[in-house]
Amino acid sequence: MKDNFWRDLPRPFFILAPMEDVTDVVFRHVVSEAGRPDVFFTEFTNTESYCHPQGQQSVRGRLTYTEDEQPIVAHIWGDKPELFRQMSIGMAEEGFRGVDINMGCPVHNVAANGKGCGLIRRPEVAAELIQAAKAGGLPVSVKTRLGYTDVDEWRDWLTHLLQQDIVNLSIHLRTKKEMSKVDAHWELIPEIKKLRDEVASDTLLTINGDIPDRQTGMELVQKYGVDGGVMIGRGIFTNPFAFEKEHKEPNSKEMLDLLRLHLDLFDQYSTEDERRPFKPLRRFLRSISGGFEGQVN
């Protein structure tokens, strides 16, 4: 392994969750302006597209980053070990600091094809992907869920992942079946931590699910003894300042300043051949309007 930056992170560390069609270079810079996390992940990037001569162009925008975002980790998905090997080498050459494997995406056409959280039902393939992703010499981490159908699957599944010598395991504390329809199973954190200590004490644990801001994350860290990281996803749409150390209710000027920045960066990183996705901008606009409504009320 060339450089395990994870060891040098503060404890706890905070990560902006990878989100499809959201966490591109533009959105990450807006979040960084509001309140920077310790680690950035890219959007989901398909290994098959990256490794196909005609597909590389389609994923180039997903892998665009700037040096001031470091440490940044390439978040990749698929199910073919050889492509993971090729892509991990490419990610090292492109300057990424790590590779994170998606084993938690619950979208039907991904999971049903044995990818994303579909790998929970293909543990041997999951292990092969992890080993293949180490070919580039970057630290390899995994993002997953507790199980596919039942919460009780967590012990066998997480044990299997922890046995693969990964640097960090990010766990969305729900199953694929639960999606985000039920409360995250925070109560399992102590048991998961105990399992980690028994199986792979050097692997960091990052918790994810129903964590709207840094303050809630710190409460969970203190309550459950989390000694790794906290990942925030959807909470960033409610409050772009979610990573600020002190709770912040942004005023209208601050929200408008972020909107202007988003629009400027959207133009800056868009070209004729590569338009930035509109979804992050739409969601950010909804966040802005919600903030204004709260101030009016």
- Residue 250 in this model has a pLDDT that exceeds 90: no
Contact 131, 118 (CB under 8 A): no
Q: What are 262-280's pLDDT values in tens digits?
A: 889 988 888 655 666 676 6
- Residue 289 in this model has a pLDDT that exceeds 90: no
How far is Cα 277 from Cα 266, in angstroms, rounded to an integer?
9
Please report the pLDDT score of residue 287 as a whole number: 65
109-118 mean pLDDT = 97
233 is in an annotated binding site: yes
Is the domain spanning 5-247 CATH 3.20.20.70? The answer is yes
90-116 mean pLDDT = 98
Q: Is 117 in the active site?
A: no
Is the sign of the CA dihedral 156, 161, 164, 166 positive or negative? Answer: negative
Catalytic one of 73, 83, 105, 132: 105
- Residue 110 in this model has a pLDDT that exceeds 70: yes
143 is in an annotated binding site: yes
283 is in an annotated binding site: no
The number of beta carbons lying within 10 Å of the beta carbon of residue 207 is 26
Give the distance, in angstroms, between the CA of residue 57 and the centroid of all CA atoms in the same chain: 22
Contact 98, 141 (CB under 8 A): yes
160 is in an annotated binding site: no
- Residue 172 in this model has a pLDDT that exceeds 50: yes
- Residue 61's closest CA among 27, 104, 107? 27
- Residue 297 in this model has a pLDDT that exceeds 50: no
Measured CA to CA in angstroms, residue 79 lies from 103, 121, 167, 191 at distances of 10, 12, 20, 29
Q: What are 190-248's pLDDT values in tens digits?
A: 999 999 999 999 999 999 999 999 999 999 999 999 999 999 999 998 889 999 999 88
How far is Cα 84 from Cα 46, in angstroms, rounded to an integer?
10
- Name the residue ranges covered by the structural domains of the chain: 5-247
- Beta bridge partners, 142, equal 101, 169
Give the distance, in angstroms, between the CA of residue 266 and the centroid of all CA atoms in the same chain: 21
Please report the pLDDT score of residue 2 as a whole number: 76
157-173 mean pLDDT = 99
- Residue 94 in this model has a pLDDT that exceeds 50: yes
Is the sign of the CA dihedral 173, 177, 183, 187 positive or negative? Answer: negative
Please report the pLDDT score of residue 296 as a whole number: 36
